[in-house]
Amino acid sequence: MTTLRLGDTAPDFTQESTAGAVHFHEWAGDSWVVLFSHPADFTPVCTTELGKTAALASEFAKRNVKAIAVSVDPLDSHNRWVGDINDTQNTTVNFPILADADKKVANLYDMIHPNASATATVRSVFIIDPRKVIRTTFTYPASTGRNFDEILRVIDSLQLTDAHKVATPANWKDGDDVIIVPSLQDPAEIAQRFPKGYKAVRPYLRITPQPNK
């Protein structure tokens, strides 16, 4: 099995889900996608994670992001579990949960790590851009719930750095200062792109206000 790397095209698939059959690339359309896997239905950490994803629907929407979950349990189990998620997390699940009982998606995305579990998917996250390119991956153990603030922060950074010739420093969050990429050296272009100016801490480390704020 080939491990997916940053810059690879996200594999396409067709799989049943709680929202009907999903033809992945078609379903994604021109949106960003957060595809994330879960070890099993009716488990405590997963329940909180799917509830949090539902609660963040407006945050995902304003970033043009679609969320889609996957676990290797069957569809009838997913449908029963959604009721528990809605009840215990005081939300409404509003995104598909793929029923990957045949492990088609899990195997395409290398979500089963035999040294951790031979049958359950690890907590994988794939952030995929509108060109269907994998831009970020995270992998967590089954015992550790994901930080959704970090997932949103990474999406913010990717979208910002795609649009402007900047990079984001350690612990950056939306609205903080950013770094002008070292490859940008033309003074006229720098002045045009960054009218608020910048501070050159070093020739390669030039700090500027976030350009879209």
Question: Which residues are known to be catalytic?
Answer: 46
Nearest Cα neighbor of 122 from 95, 151, 143, 148 is: 143
- Continuous H helices in the chain: 24-28, 44-55, 57-62, 75-89, 104-108, 148-163, 187-193
Residue 179: strand pairing partners? 167, 207
> DSSP string of 90-101?
TS---S-EEE-T
Whole-angstrom distance, CA of residue 90 vs CA of residue 25: 31
Whole-angstrom distance, CA of residue 170 vs CA of residue 162: 18
For 150, residues 6+ apart whose C-beta sits below 8 A from its C-beta are none
Report whether 185 contacts 158 (CB < 8 A): no
Half-sphere exposure of 189 (CA within 13 A, CB side): 9
Whole-angstrom distance, CA of residue 133 vs CA of residue 126: 10
Question: Tokens 């612990």 appear where?
Answer: 171
